[in-house]
Structure 1
Amino acid sequence: MADRVNAFVPGPRIRIPGREGGPLAGLTFAVKDLFDVAGTPTGGGNHDWAKANPVPERHAWAVQSLLDAGAELVGKTITDEVSLGILGENAFDGTPLNTAAPDRVPGGSSSGSAAAVAAGLCDTALGTDTGGSMRVPGSFCGLYSIRPTHGRLDLTGLMPQAPSSDTAGWFTRDAATFARIGTVLLGEAPGPLPTKLLVAVDAFGFADPEVAAALQPMVQRLAGVLDTTPRDEIMAPQGLSVWARAQRSLQPVEAWQTFRPWIERDNPRMAFSVAAGLIAGSQVPVSEQNWAALMREEARARLRYLLPPGTILCLPTTPFPAPLRGLPMPALRPMRDRITSLCAQGGLTGHPQVNLPGALVDGAPVGLSIIGGRGTDASLIAVAQAMEAASS
């Protein structure tokens, strides 16, 4: 199938058939170019990274799992450079097209995977989420997406960024396929449904008013699906921006530690914004890191308190729809900071989070997120199925 949306990495497309008769037989998938595919360079969105690292001899665990389950691999997809981005723009390979809003970015860093699924070029696609890279493209492109419980999936064969926050997830256009992939990768069928619903009023207040209003029908449908009365709660008593500051203090330090040997050895080419982020990570004071580590413990304690068994929390996935393509850097920084303020809880706490599509603002998608207790990934997938059934 022709790549009409610039979702796949340049060069010959790879195709690897899945095992015959598996539970995912008949489905096609693509993988973000952070996952190893045997015999194919792992590019990581930076041409110098591919040159500096050997061609993998084995598939990443997640890739092998989908192949063993019968799905067919149809290509590797573009990522923000070394996964350090949230909007989906890559100086080397370009910006994949968001078919749900063609004048807007697809979201990153799993931009190509989201674009490929949204355009119908594959049934599902693997991506990663460290600071929001599954959730944000899901919201911007109108897809189901998941950031699993941290540590739930085996990340063998995945190019790291910040290991204490790194996760792998998947995109789909429909909840049935979303659940099929989850059953294979999680090793667990969807269910049971939660019985209590919390609404993160601080997150709704932080989002653009148009986004908060557009998501209200989904919140009411969610309450109906769970047959419960929603209860308002503050997710981050210290402040969403404070949680974001903690994540921005921890994640860049780890990213610098990950890429420092390569940078110091090879002096690679990279976009200014990526280089600036890595430099910032190298300069975070130890006192700031210590403060951020304590704030991470507070965030984890807060979500443990809010999310006992049978309870989920909902919030806007992103504070606004996808920004326009090609905006200047000064306009993008405050947007990135606002996105991080609604995504920081993922990396800080490790709780699973699912983006539910279903709302529009000015014709562009925005998603509603649901967060559960650690290990309740399958329950969140069951909610996605029930929400789709309720909207049909």
Structure 2
Amino acid sequence: MASAKRFANYPGAKEAPAAALEYKPEEDKNPALRGLALVVVATAIANSTWLQKWLWSNAKLGQPKLTPGLAGVVRRMHPNVIPLADGTVQTSSSMLELGAELRTPQPTNLAGRFNSVADYHEAYRSGEVTPLQVAEALLPLIRRDIKPEPSKYAVAWLQTNVDEVLAAAKASTERWAAGKPLGVLDGVPFGVKDDLEVKGFVSTMGMKVNKSEPYFNTPQTETVWPVQKLQEAGGIMMGKMNQHEVGMDTTGCNPTTGTAVNWANPSYYPGGSSSGAGSAVSGGLVPIAIGTDAGGSIRIPPAFCGVYGLKPTHNRTCTRASTMCVVGPACATAADLAIAYRIMAQPNPSHPDQGHFALSVPPSSSPSQKKYLGICREWVARSDADVLAVFDKAVHYLTSTLGYETVDIKLPYLREGKLAHAGTCVTEAADDAKARSSRGAANYLSLLSLPNRMLVGAGAQTPAADYLKYTQIRQVIMSHLAFLYEKYPDLLILTPTTPLAGMPIHPGDQKYGFSDGNNALKSMTYVWLANSSGCPAVSCPAGFVEPAQGDGRLPVGLMAMAEWGAEEQLLAFARDTETYLNETYPGGRVRPAQWADVLGLAKAGKGTATATAMGANPNNTAAATAGNTNGKLEEGGMGQLGSVPKTTTAAATTTTTVTGTTETSDL
């Protein structure tokens, strides 16, 4: 049955050949490197084209060119499928209404309750607290220049402009006092990943700042569209957030800027590359964080940290210089995810792609409309047993209680497609790295950490012929997905977000970082498909499992992928899974033990007093980034910030007052 929807750049619905649908998983054989072994090997690889080629070959990134059945397949360079409106002109203010269901706070007695956008809105509306008081309470928790020691939460952040934050908070406070707020987001704090452009900030991307490079001396002159729309709605951008360096791994381990904490269990990594986003939302600092996702980077951290993440349709919120990367939100609740998405996804009429996107609309509420969950059984079976148990329980609830119907599906080139995705990502990363360097091709790797010198160096060796094969595999995958979406209207393809419930921290990883290609590829087992195809996908917490180390049960994410443009269907699914977690799952949602009640701090009137007591400089108006103690971008990294925790293992103990109680932090 042909789709009644209209798309630009539609791949055409075509079932993949039987041979392509045979899943042939293989174990990867990339050596894990840490410590001095990493130093020696990474240094050698960075200085040897031959070794870079060997690493590329050992990672099997050339395997896709051997894929049978690609002769004559159209080369699909970009997954930019655009859902088109039927005769409706889109404007920059085109957006679904933010209804009462999104503006109503959750019950106060709900287990594992997070502060949501609705909570901030209600606090401002009632006059219990002002946006300025919230900003004053939050700044001491996120600033890296606090003396004598930054807050334990500050490692999730890299830069902030204090004057701009306070000015925005004051303006919002005045609007509320005059009874003229801009909407539900007015005065609500949010953060932005450091690889996104924000006017006045240098996008350090989690790298060591090198002032001899023009790149690190060139602040952005414009703010990226989705962040701009959040600010126009009254949201207060608190600062730029930490990340895995240049987005090139899934752990969040950063030996240069420090590793953000997974507050669910600080003995595990927060996930990457939007590590600061996952950490800050799960730690209670902000209800919304904006990140990027080229290989699960706005879904893996939320999955590991127990919050919500949405990867939109390719180019939906803005266009990146990538065939994989999109911009999306990580949020505390499903309602926050809908609010953030609707605001930041308003069409940009001046952009050739964004200006044509039709609004995503909620799915039909008709009882006769089937709600399909497509499950590729052999693919899902690659997950660890404890993750599968959480997945199966969630699926049982969705089918037995909410009327979803499961259908068994097959997907093409699951092994070859994952390798093609990885090869594309490292190839684009190499090109980006060369563009940031003024030293030419011979020295561009010197700006990166040791693990990324290996990855990016290998990516620079991708032959054009192999890259073209990657694009043919993409076309077959996208055509088969179109076939499935036409066969099963409103189909959601369901998997765990990751096949494992977190990555444990190894002692010593923080000094140099580490390289573990096998685990990186494993963590992306399911997420890569949405990036390669351009489809939207959502990750929702669906349960918890026992950890192998440390304190705190590990969250498990449930991921659904929908047809191009069907973000609202995913948001409805997120609300369904949230109901399951809050009302049916044994014990309900688990909130991290060291969760920070920012609203509680603000209501207690601790904002200004706390900032003064912690040694904040009220005149600091510039970026407090890696190695920064005077409000400017400075050379160096964590070594210059001796008081900032360099590890999230239980190597040291600090004590911080949060919500009026003394809590111990394993940092």
TM-score by shorter chain over 0.5: yes
Alignment-derived partner of residue 501 in structure 2: 321
Within-5 A mapping of 1:269-288: 269-288=447-466
Q: Structure 1 residue 222 and structure 2 residue 398: aligned? A: yes
Question: Secondary structure at 1:265's aligned position in 2?
Answer: coil
The correspondence for 2:221, drawn from 46, 49, 57, is 57
CA distance in 2, matches of 1:84, 1:350: 19
Pair 1:195–1:49, CA change in 2 (3 A): farther
Q: In the alignment, residue 106 of structure 1 is paired with which amino acid?
A: P
- Tell whether the 8 Å contact from 2:430 to 2:456 is kept in structure 1 after alignment: yes
Q: Indicate the larger mover: 189-198 or 378-387.
A: 189-198
Q: In the alignment, residue 376 of structure 2 is paired with which amino acid?
A: A
Per the TM alignment, residue 244 of structure 1 is displaced from its structure 2 partner at its CA by 0.9
The correspondence for 1:185, drawn from 333, 341, 344, is 344
Q: Structure 1 residue 30 and structure 2 residue 191: aligned? A: yes
Q: Structure 1 residue 106 and structure 2 residue 265: aligned? A: no
* More RCO (CA 8 Å, sep 6+): 2
Instruction: Tell me the alpha carbon deviations over residues 29-69 of structure 1, each in whole angstroms, 9 at most, x when there is no partner.
Output: 00001122222222111134785321112222111110111
The correspondence for 1:121, drawn from 282, 285, 291, is 285
Q: Structure 1 residue 9 and structure 2 residue 193: aligned? A: no
TM-score by length of 2: 0.55
- Tell whether the 8 Å contact from 1:34 to 1:44 is kept in structure 2 after alignment: yes
Q: Structure 1 residue 208 and structure 2 residue 369: aligned? A: no
- Tell whether the 8 Å contact from 1:196 to 1:226 is kept in structure 2 after alignment: no
Within-5 A mapping of 1:56-75: 56-75=220-239
Per the TM alignment, residue 11 of structure 1 is displaced from its structure 2 partner at its CA by 6.9
Per the TM alignment, residue 232 of structure 1 is displaced from its structure 2 partner at its CA by 2.0
Per the TM alignment, residue 125 of structure 1 is displaced from its structure 2 partner at its CA by 0.3
Which structure 2 residue ranges, 5 or more long, are not aligned?
A: 1-137, 143-151, 176-180, 347-358, 365-369, 547-552, 584-667
Per the TM alignment, residue 386 of structure 1 is displaced from its structure 2 partner at its CA by 2.7
Q: Indicate the larger mover: 12-21 or 41-50.
A: 12-21
- Tell whether the 8 Å contact from 1:105 to 1:323 is kept in structure 2 after alignment: yes
Alignment-derived partner of residue 291 in structure 1: 469
- Tell whether the 8 Å contact from 1:30 to 1:124 is kept in structure 2 after alignment: yes
Question: Secondary structure at 2:544's aligned position in 1?
Answer: strand
Per the TM alignment, residue 191 of structure 1 is displaced from its structure 2 partner at its CA by 1.3
Alignment-derived partner of residue 364 in structure 1: 554
RMSD: 2.3
Alignment-derived partner of residue 199 in structure 1: 375
Q: Indicate the larger mover: 339-348 or 80-89.
A: 339-348
CA distance in 2, matches of 1:154, 1:40: 19
Question: Secondary structure at 2:276's aligned position in 1?
Answer: helix
CA distance in 2, matches of 1:347, 1:129: 8
Which structure 1 residue ranges, 5 or more long, are not aligned?
A: none
CA distance in 2, matches of 1:91, 1:354: 29
Question: Bigger radius of gyration, 1 or 2?
Answer: 2
Structure in which a larger fraction of residues adopt helix: 1
- Tell whether the 8 Å contact from 2:199 to 2:220 is kept in structure 1 after alignment: yes
Question: Secondary structure at 2:290's aligned position in 1?
Answer: strand
- Tell whether the 8 Å contact from 2:159 to 2:239 is kept in structure 1 after alignment: no
Per the TM alignment, residue 135 of structure 1 is displaced from its structure 2 partner at its CA by 1.1
The alignment covers a number of residue pairs equal to: 385
CA distance in 1, matches of 2:456, 2:438: 12
Question: Secondary structure at 1:127's aligned position in 2?
Answer: strand
Per the TM alignment, residue 12 of structure 1 is displaced from its structure 2 partner at its CA by 6.1
- Tell whether the 8 Å contact from 1:253 to 1:281 is kept in structure 2 after alignment: yes
- Tell whether the 8 Å contact from 1:190 to 1:382 is kept in structure 2 after alignment: no
The correspondence for 1:385, drawn from 575, 584, 588, is 575
- Tell whether the 8 Å contact from 2:227 to 2:344 is kept in structure 1 after alignment: no
- Tell whether the 8 Å contact from 2:371 to 2:405 is kept in structure 1 after alignment: no
Instruction: Tell me the alpha carbon deviations over residues 220-278 of structure 1, each in whole angstroms, 9 at most, x when there is no partner.
Output: 223346513211223x343x322211112222112212222334626343211111111
Question: Secondary structure at 1:176's aligned position in 2?
Answer: helix
Per the TM alignment, residue 132 of structure 1 is displaced from its structure 2 partner at its CA by 1.2
Question: Secondary structure at 2:317's aligned position in 1?
Answer: coil
Within-5 A mapping of 1:254-269: 254-263=428-437, 265=439, 267=443, 268-269=446-447
Question: Secondary structure at 1:230's aligned position in 2?
Answer: strand
- Tell whether the 8 Å contact from 2:420 to 2:470 is kept in structure 1 after alignment: yes
Q: Structure 1 residue 242 and structure 2 residue 416: aligned? A: yes
Pair 1:49–1:340, CA change in 2 (3 A): farther
Within-5 A mapping of 1:42-191: 42-48=203-209, 52-53=214-215, 54-155=218-319, 163-187=322-346, 188=359, 191=362
Q: In the alignment, residue 365 of structure 1 is paired with which amino acid?
A: P
Alignment-derived partner of residue 312 in structure 1: 492
Pair 1:37–1:180, CA change in 2 (3 A): same
CA distance in 2, matches of 1:69, 1:225: 37
The correspondence for 1:41, drawn from 202, 217, 230, is 202
Within-5 A mapping of 1:340-355: 340-355=524-539
